[in-house]
Structure 1
């Protein structure tokens, strides 16, 4: 699946970086629960952009595209007793550069107008 990070600020959806860690002895239960979650939870408002598994086990890193935080919480609630979950809103690097450039231009324009 190819994802266009550049359009995220234009859309209303959010990108979330999720780092899920779990004890190695819980691996089987985590993956069984994962299959259960994917079959039970409606994924209308939540899409997995990409996902990586730690080669040593015990950690999964996922980028989600969500319509609302409610969609994310509904999906991940099933894992809250087995896993430690950290989540951060993220923006693609190119998108962030464009945003910062616009902010700097705006600040420079205000600074020049104050000097006049």
Structure 2
């Protein structure tokens, strides 16, 4: 079971406030804070879809890119042992460490549900 909402290429978080008795969330991976809420799953899903559509329409109207920009560069912290093992695998395969890690990322993206469940 997924704990997120999906509409077009957009994902939305799902959270619950016991104090307010509402479900709520935000659209992930966009340039602005776009939120929604509802008192039922159906209401939350409709609010999410409406929020995505409204945001996309607003971005189009003001000629703004809706999707958050990612440079493709970030630091990954791991243990000394894992770093060493990855370096050795890369050497054996005659690859750069960065190339090896990108292959692992590609595999994860294509197999997310199998690997992370």
- TM-score, normalised to structure 2's length? 0.25
The structure richer in strand per residue is 1
- TM-score, normalised to structure 1's length? 0.25
